[in-house]
Amino acid sequence: MSSGSAYVLVVEDEPKLSRLLADYLAAAGFEAGCVADGNAVLAEVRRRMPDLILLDLMLPGRDGLNLCRELRTFSDVPIVMVTARVEEIDRLLGLELGADDYICKPYSPREVVARVKAILRRSQRRDMPAAEAGLMIDEEGYQASWQGRRLELTPAEFRLLRTLASTPGRVFSRDQLLDHLYADHRVVTDRTVDSHIKNLRRKLEQVAPQQELIRSVYGVGYKLEL
């Protein structure tokens, strides 16, 4: 799919903002549609299925949360949730809405366009198994290899990698990663996750310096991108 053919639906009740976004998307070669009322979204999506939806959280009529849930009952269209509060993102992640990404207001339209492009690229590859991208995880042997080279990982690093690789592209909060980190529920802090991630990244980089497998998502957590 070239970006020229992709149709992005902007769900946003601030007219200035949705016009601005639509202009930027059009300039980047996308087709953009706008809906301002939460009650009108589902009918619009059913009328014409977008390739991606930018979904504002606070809307008149049905809110973004409610809409995201309902959309997921009949479509796996990529959804980017937009919220005005960074603290809100952690809560949204905990709700497991099935959104593909989260953007915090205020944002730069340029950044939004870049994210849209990245997600569309990714959604084309969504079905590609991690192994095809060069990441092998041996659950029983507690071993992993990346681009054909065995990684020397600590058990905590292995668990982090396994968790992130379970759903490439999904953003995991530090809390969610902590849940998978230790079997014995010892008391650890968010910083523990950060330091294990740092070491894990260093080991991955030694194998393939050009490829950033684990990305941090500012204020939220981490994701694995193949």
- Whether 42 and 71 have beta carbons less than 8 Å apart is answered as yes
Nearer to Ca ion, 12 or 101 (CB): 12
User: Which residues of this protein are in contact with Ca ion, per CB under 5 A?
Assistant: 13, 56, 58
Nearer to Ca ion, 57 or 137 (CB): 57
- Whether 132 and 70 have beta carbons less than 8 Å apart is answered as no
Nearer to Ca ion, 42 or 58 (CB): 58
CB of 82 to Ca ion, least distance (A): 8
Nearer to Ca ion, 58 or 207 (CB): 58
CB of 86 to Ca ion, least distance (A): 16
CB of 107 to Ca ion, least distance (A): 13
- The closest alpha carbon to 204, from 176, 181, 189, 226, belongs to 226
* CA–CA gap between residue 176 and residue 90 (Å, rounded): 10
Following CA atoms 209, 212, 217, 223 in sequence, which dihedral angle do they give, to the nearest 10 degrees? -130
CB of 75 to Ca ion, least distance (A): 22
* CA–CA gap between residue 111 and residue 78 (Å, rounded): 17
CB of 19 to Ca ion, least distance (A): 14
- Whether 97 and 170 have beta carbons less than 8 Å apart is answered as no
Nearer to Ca ion, 58 or 136 (CB): 58
- The closest alpha carbon to 169, from 123, 128, 214, 225, belongs to 225
